[in-house]
């Protein structure tokens, strides 16, 4: 369900989904969010705060935050 939201939602909704610690995100969902975060530092910070961000995606997020 969250992957569908991530695909179709506004930036505000993407932030809210990401900030919701109870929302399960797939690896593909994280990839899409990281790509969107390239132009949204608040979204990048929300992704960074997630404990379920796959380790292999963390370097890509760090590039976004740089």
Indicate the pLDDT class of residue 64, thresholds 50, 70 and 90.
Answer: confident
Q: Are 48 and 65 in contact (CB under 8 A)?
A: yes
Distance of CA 64 to the CA centre of its chain: 11
pLDDT in tens, 43-52: 999 999 999 9
What are the DSSP E strand ranges found in 1-66?
none
Indicate the pLDDT class of residue 65, thresholds 50, 70 and 90.
Answer: confident
Can you give the pTM of this predicted structure? 0.89
pLDDT in tens, 3-53: 888 888 898 999 999 999 999 999 999 999 999 999 999 999 999 999 999
Q: How is the chain split into domains, by residue range? A: 2-65
């Amino acid at each position: 369900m969250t992957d569908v939201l991530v695909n179709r939602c506004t930036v505000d909704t993407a932030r809210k989904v990401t900030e919701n610690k109870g929302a399960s995100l797939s690896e593909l969902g994280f990839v899409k969010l990281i790509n969107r975060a390239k132009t949204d530092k608040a979204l990048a910070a929300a992704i960074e705060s997630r404990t379920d961000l796959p380790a292999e995606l963390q370097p890509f997020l760090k590039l976004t935050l740089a």
